[in-house]
Structure 1
Amino acid sequence: MSTSNLDPALAAGNRCTLTGHEARHFGWRVEAGIGHVTLNRPERKNPLTFDSYAELRDLFGRLKHATDVHAVVLNGAGGNFCSGGDVHEIIGPLVQLAAPELLMFTRMTGDLVKNMRACPQPIVAAIDGVCAGAGAILAMSSDLRLGTARSKTAFLFNRVGLAGCDMGACTMLPRIIGQGRASELLYTGRNLGGEEAERWGFFNRLVEPEALAAEAAALAARLVAGPTFANGITKTMLHQEWNMGIDQAIEAEAQAQALCMLTGDFRRAYEAFVAKQTPVFQGN
């Protein structure tokens, strides 16, 4: 997004770049406007820890200010997506904590989901192998999901003595796959195979495991090539309209669309159409 007329002091507090940012507890790189997050503990099927939860929360929080990232790909290393919270580094310590510290933890995990939904960049989850517990939540919280036939997604909180209402699952999952199907997964914690996940609408589509990374990157690149400011508005409205009635939603969309009509990309699309050319969007 152009900042040529932006006061430097305002830009300093509200604009940043994440190219070159070094993540400590997962992989991070920026290429051609795409931020790649790779959960990279393959020997344990990429579980989350207290550290990685907090760092993911903070990174997704910073993304709303990033000028060099216009889409995100979230994946796991070694043929698995994410096995959830690490049994030894999270689950074990949790059973020793009192209520205030437990609430600190659950609010931290919830804030990760909030930040994923609040960042304007569409998030493409590339899901292979195990996608369980908090890993399934990360997939659910993404905007688009590519999977493989061999993937196994499980909201397994019930199987470890917890409620299925974790990190927004009871509100978000029914909106993706329907109330009845979400209820089944949250009450039983059973595995959802890849083909079933696609049939239920959890996955947008299935790809071969060896093509998953390239397909996810290609989908993200297509988003980056689009009107990224308008894409961010679309994501915002998709999220905010969950809490609106139809009249509120129509008015909110009227205001949002009028804002998009002020962008250079809207004019570029018109001028390209008149010239019988393909528009080259610039995100402003």
Structure 2
Amino acid sequence: MMMKDFKPDHYDWRVDGTTAIINLRRPERKNPMTFESYAELRDTFRKLVYADDIRAVVFGSNGGNFCSGGDVHDIIGPLFDRDMKGLLEFTRMTGDLVKAMKACPQPIIAAVDGVCAGAGAMIALFSDLRIGTPAAKTAFLFTRVGLAGCDMGACAMLPRVIGQGRAAELLFTGRAMSAEEGERWGFFNKLTAPEQLADDALALAKRLAEGPTFAHMMTKTMLNQEWSMSLEQAIESEAQAQAICMQTQDFRRAYEGFVAKQAPKFEGN
């Protein structure tokens, strides 16, 4: 499947080389999520499993903000008209989005500026790498609207990234994590100036896209799977994964490049 010419209806998509860049719409409202954008993003990340022409993804900011979460008028208000079955359909759909992000083989880089709240914070959390600006404010604010902090996998994933105690504080209080805290706690891989954010995220994505993408897929797979393994299982699984990677042409290209004292050109096979 080729996705360079893909045209979504509910968010912006462009491709630079082999890197896809996603930006949510409506910057005047800090890029909120809607029922439609949830579903279309879920379906897009599912399609990326089969997209041979996309090797990395940047989920970017728009108008100085990343995402303000579920739209109050388009999502939260209509939820009061749903019965339990309808509510569960919605909450499962939001979970399906982040599951699709984890399942797609391409590394995902979140470029976070300004407001990053609710579902937006979860999209950033479930990205593989995160770059922020000093203005980034990340809030898992579910308790502030009367809901539990356990939304879209937050109670499972956030402690893995920043630690149990820090995650518990953010999920109980709903307060915003500052950019400095986010970098110090390991949520952000680095901070950069707002005017450099898009370029830095794209440069990192291109660096990954030019690498051994089959091996990157295997790395992402093992990072996700090994949380539920014993140490012995993890070591054995990595032995098998590495043996598979040793059969790729990219492994041979790296060896031949080293012998010839030339940089290898990886092709993802």
TM class by shorter chain equals over 0.9
Is 1:247 paired with 2:235? no
From 161, 172, 184, the equivalent of 2:146 is 161
1:172 aligned residue (145, 154, 157)? 157
Distance in 2 of aligned mates of 1:41 and 1:226: 34
* Counterpart Cα distance in 2 of 1:251 and 1:119: 23
Amino acid at match of 1:228: T
Shift of 1:232: 0.5
1:124 and 2:109 equivalent?
Answer: yes
The match for 2:50 is 65
What secondary structure does 1:64 align onto?
helix
Provide the aligned C-alpha RMSD in A.
Answer: 0.6
Deviation at 1:76, TM superposition (A): 2.3
Aligned-partner residue type, residue 150 of structure 1: A
Among 263, 275, 284, the residue aligned to 2:248: 263
Alignment of 1:161-200 (within 5 A): 161-200=146-185
| Deviation, structure 1 residue 32 | 0.8
SS in 1 for 2:214: helix
Q: 1: distance between equivalents of 2:188 and 2:25?
A: 22
Give the Cα separation in 2 of the matches to 1:48 and 1:40: 9
Give % identity: 66
**Structure 2 gap ranges (5+):** none
Q: Which residue of structure 2 aligns with residue 133 of structure 1?
A: 118
Q: Secondary structure at the match of 1:117?
A: helix
Q: Report the secondary structure of 2:106's partner residue.
A: coil
The structure 1 segments of at least 4 consecutive aligned residues displaced by more than 4 Å after TM superposition are none
Q: Distance in 1 between matches of 2:63 and 2:97?
A: 23
Instruction: Structure 1: give runs of 5+ residues left out of the alignment.
Output: 1-15
The reply to whether residue 145 of structure 1 matches residue 130 of structure 2 is: yes
1:96: how far off?
1.8
Equivalenced residues, count: 269
**2:65 aligned partner:** 80
- Report the 3-state secondary structure (helix = DSSP H, G, I; strand = E; otherwise coil) of the residue aligned with 2:50: coil
Deviation at 1:242, TM superposition (A): 1.1
Paired position in structure 2 for 1:96: 81
How far apart are 1:278 and its partner, in Å? 1.0
Q: Report what 1:233 is aligned to.
A: 218
Aligned twin of 1:9: none
Query: For 1:62 and 1:40, how far apart are their aligned partners in 2?
Result: 21
Distance 1:226 1:20 in 2: 23
TM-score, normalised to structure 1's length? 0.94
| Alpha carbons 1:120, 1:232 under 8 Å: kept | yes
Mapped partners of 1:46, 1:76: distance in 2: 8
